Structures are given as C-alpha cells and as structure tokens.
Amino acid sequence: MIRFENVTMVYDQKSRLGSENARPGLDDVTIEIDRGDFAFLVGASGSGKSTFLRLILREIVATGGSVHVAGQNVARIPSWRVPKLRRGIGVVFQDFRLLPQKNVFENVAFAMQVVGESRSAIRDHVPEVLKLVGLEGKEKRQPDELSGGEQQRVAIARAIANKPQILLADEPTGNLDPATSVGIMNVLDRINQNGTTVIMATHDDGIVNSMRRRVVELSLGKIMRDESAGEYTSMIPVINQDGTRELRQADHSTWQKPSTGNQAFAPFDTEDDMP
C-alpha cells in the first residue's frame, strides 16, 4: 500500500550545502506498509514522523528515493492529480482542525462537499460515519460545545467521510487524557478493522504498549526499529560521565534508578533536554 525506497528528505538544500549541521528530516528510509496494516510511528521529537506522513500526502516531495502510495510514485503524479491522491487518504491531527462556525454535521459534510458529493449522498453517509465514531445525536453541536475527545472524533469522522484507503494520524491523542485516548484508539481500531490502513505518529507509550501493533521507530530521520507487535521503546538514551551520549537497550534497573556514573532519563522527557 505504501512503500518508501531509500527516501531522503532534506528540507533546506541550500543551507545544507552551506553548513554541516543541517541534517535531513528523513535519511535513507526504506519501508513497506501493507494494505490493512496498523502501524505506530514513534521516536523523539524531530525524528521525522511528521515528515514521513507529509511525504505520503505529497505535501512535500522527497529529495531522494521514491515514495509509492497505492502503486504510484507520488513524485510522478502531476500536480493537478494530487487532489485525487489525497481523496484516498484521510488525515487527523493533534489539534483537531475543525471549522468553528460549522456544527458537527457540517464539518463532516464539508469534506464531502469539497469533492463534489451530492446532497443526498451527504445526508445518507454523514450520520453513518458519526455513528462509527460514536457521535450519534450530536450532529447539531458546535465544536466549542464538545470535549476534546469528541472534537477528535469529529475530525476522524471527517477524515474517513470520503472512505479513504489510508488514514494518517499525527499525534491524534496528543491533547487528550488517557481515558479519552483509549476511546479514540478504539475508533481508529474499528476503522482499521474495516480494512483501512492506519499509520499513527505518537508519543503515547501507554497506547503503543497496550495495542501491540506494528511499531516503526525513527531516530534522527533513520529507522531504528520495525517490530510487528512492538512496544513504545526498546532503547533509552544514556549520557555517560564524560558527556557523550549513546543509546542502550532498555535496562529497567538503569533508568528507573540512575546508578552512579550514568545519568539516564526517560525518553518522554527528551524534548526539553535534547538540543
């Protein structure tokens, strides 16, 4: 369904030529995600998860290698055909991105109007989708009358309104509490069971660990790990006494109780600590 072949994404090519410290957002990534898969993308902030998703959407075009979606090399799709590619892909974000002036029904209907669906198709299909995400009876609510979890359900409903084959989710539970997140994961799981390929970038270890799905870990733009039923992390960064940094296989005794000599920190705190 989705295939990356030696994909490299250098954001600012000019500055890369000029200075050495610019590194690619993705670096020589090769991976295949099959139809019907459910894959988590994990990795520290800046490791290239969003870059991975944006390449699939062709929001950006790889500077090296090729990205294939449903058998097509997306770089070869002429720009006027890109909308057609995107109609086959649903996207959900951390910040929901609902239209505040439109109610729940209209927000979902918007996606169908944009691609030119008829009024009757919209009238029939939107309630079905809202039922799938568990929002029956809330069609008339405005986004600001919904909880964060409910807003994310609306966003998911909008993403799947045009029956995409692929659903990309970039930290969809990033703004939600654990209990609400579980609800969202159940919705995504249900969508996946209907045959949609789901790729979800996340920092939420609890979810990854409990779902036991495929886990792809990125680090500095490279694939570190690709497990079919993985956990959030198997490696933790460790800082040695002399200041050098390295990744080590997770050793619970080491990072739960830092021993003398090594100071380790939990991977979820790295955003602030890493330069």
Partner 1 sequence: MKLGFILGEVGSGLRRNLSMVVSVVLVTFISLTFVGTAALMQMQITQMKGYWYDKVQVAIYLCGEHNEGTNCAEGAVTEGQRGEIESMLGSAAVKPYVENFEYESKEQALTHFREQFDNSSMSETVTADQLPESFRVSLVDPEKYQIIKELFSSMDGVDVVVDQRELLEKIFSIINIASFVAIGIAGVMILCAVLLVGTTIRLSAYLRRRETGIMRLVGASKSSLQLPFVLEGVISALIGALLASGVLWAAVRFLIDDKLALEYKDTAFISTGEVFMVAPWLILLGVVLAGVSSLVTLRRYLKV
Ligand X SMILES: Nc1ncnc2c1ncn2[C@@H]1O[C@H](COP(=O)(O)OP(=O)(O)OP(=O)(O)O)[C@@H](O)[C@H]1O
Judge whether 33 and 1 are in contact, CB under 8 Å: yes
Q: How far is the C-alpha of 161 from the C-alpha of 153, rounded, in Å?
A: 12
Angle CA 215–186–94, to nearest 5: 70
Q: How far is the C-alpha of 265 from the C-alpha of 89, rounded, in Å?
A: 37
Only one residue has tokens 């600012």, namely 12
Residue 193: CB partners within 8 Å, gap ≥ 6?
Answer: none
* Coil/strand/helix, residue 46: coil
Q: Which CB, 91 or 146, lies closer to partner 1?
A: 91
Listed ranges 60-68, 89-97, 219-227, 253-261: which one lies at the site for partner 1 (CB under 8 A): 89-97
Sign of CA dihedral 55, 6, 232, 239: negative
Q: Which CB, 119 or 123, lies closer to partner 1?
A: 119
Q: Which CB, 11 or 110, lies closer to ligand X?
A: 11
> Comparing C-alpha atoms, which of 27, 20, 37 is closest to residue 4?
27
Residue 87 binding partner 1, by CB under 8 A: yes
Residue 50 binding Mg ion, by CB under 5 A: yes
183 binds, among partner 1, ligand X, Mg ion, none (CB under 5 to 8 A by kind): none
**Among 3, 16, 86, 138, interactor with partner 1 by CB under 8 A:** 86
Listed ranges 69-77, 106-114, 132-140, 241-249: which one lies at the site for partner 1 (CB under 8 A): 106-114
Pattern 31-70, ligand X, x by CB under 6 A = ------------x-xxxxxxx-------------------
Determine the residue with CB nearest Mg ion: 50
Q: Beta partners for 200? A: 40, 169
Considering the complex, what minimum distance in angstroms separates the CB of residue 204 from Mg ion?
A: 13
Considering the complex, what minimum distance in angstroms separates the CB of residue 275 from ligand X?
A: 11
114 binds, among Mg ion, partner 1, ligand X, none (CB under 5 to 8 A by kind): partner 1
Longest dimension (CA), the chain: 68
List residues near ligand X by CB under 6 A: 11-12, 25, 43, 45-51
